Amino acid sequence: MEEIKNIKKQRRKRDIEKGLAIFVFLLPGLLLFISILIAPIAVSLYRSLYDWNGFSEATFIGFNNYIELFTNGSIKFITSLKNSLILAFFSVFIQLPLALLLALLLGRGVKREKTFLSIFFMPVLISTVVIGQLWLKIYNPDYGLLNRFLDAVNLGHLKHVWVGDVKTALGSIIVPTVWQYVGYHMLLMYAGVKGVDIDLREAAMLDGATKWQVDKYIIIPIIKPILRVSVIFAVTGSLKTYDLVRILTEGGPFQSTEVPSTLLENMLFLRNRYGMGSTISVMLIILCFAFALLITAAFREKDD
């Protein structure tokens, strides 16, 4: 009995030592996670409960900032959120299907496969600022490629001030956004397609399945976890979009292309409303987290 007790003590001691070792190794990453992610969220949540201009003493107002965000029409938060959701819609239903199609085609082992991968992925590597400036030149009403192309094909009556018109400004942002990140999602899906056992593909082909049937009934169901990640990235990325909107339209004309991130910048640096800016950032965090949970749940239901 005494020997059994000693063995148990030794095991307990080893477990404690192992747990301490794991904790020590995880501690730097945990501290980094708390300082970079958790602490700023906590500060933003705290500041959102105050009316503060960044200089004078802050005044506690509770949830008034949140109420004003949804009830004060001059802030345009609902409009900015609607624009982000429109961008998310096109990202999910245009960008991702294009990326999936390219991934499936390249995953079959076409000639110069690596070259095509590099070409399609190239826009992702280019700075968004550069892409914004590039598309500004394309949309330019005087010498832009788009208007010149319309002239060349005798469609001059369709020429437009693309980023300066309320009707076309948001679409002018959607096009380069979809174009830029098709390659990113394509690479994720391509990796999943290449990871599928080739024996499954060959067995289906021997049974008389066409290439598209193999893709539909074998490849796509297997890479569903990657599709879920791509949908989450597309939706949350649309909610957080900032740089292209800032470069192309700056939220205009007449705030028609405002998104939550540009509205946040407006509140912080132009109106000196740090409490309201913190409120918008908290709402962005909540929305991204909520959409990620909803998408995960939707894919889980389909799997069931």
Residues 25-70: tens digit of each pLDDT: 888 888 998 888 889 889 999 999 999 887 888 889 989 999 998 8
Q: Is 218 within the bounds of a domain?
A: yes
Q: Is 155 within the bounds of a domain?
A: yes
CATH label of the domain that carries residue 110: 1.10.3720.10
Q: Is 60 within the bounds of a domain?
A: no
What proportion of the chain, given as a percentage, has pLDDT over 70?
96
Residue 146 vs residues 58, 141, 149, 184, 297: alpha-carbon distances, Å: 50, 8, 5, 25, 42
- Are residue 81 and residue 19 in the same domain, yes or no? no
Domain that holds residue 23: 2-47
- Are residue 113 and residue 28 in the same domain, yes or no? no
pLDDT for residue 105 is more than 70: yes
Residue 180 vs residues 43, 89, 119, 123: alpha-carbon distances, Å: 33, 16, 12, 5
Give the strand pairing for 50-51 and 59-60.
Answer: antiparallel
- Are residue 23 and residue 169 in the same domain, yes or no? no
- Are residue 40 and residue 82 in the same domain, yes or no? no
- Per-residue model confidence (pLDDT) at position 159: 86
- In this predicted model, which residue has the larger pLDDT, 233 or 111? 233
Q: What is the pTM of this model?
A: 0.88
- Per-residue model confidence (pLDDT) at position 304: 58
- Per-residue model confidence (pLDDT) at position 258: 93
- Per-residue model confidence (pLDDT) at position 303: 62
- Per-residue model confidence (pLDDT) at position 184: 93
- Per-residue model confidence (pLDDT) at position 132: 92
pLDDT of 227-267, one tens digit each?
A: 999 999 999 999 999 999 999 998 888 888 999 999 999 98
Total domain count, the chain: 2
Q: How many CB atoms lie within 10 A of CB 37?
A: 11
Please tell me whether residue 271 adopts helix, strand or coil conformation: coil
- Are residue 100 and residue 193 in the same domain, yes or no? yes
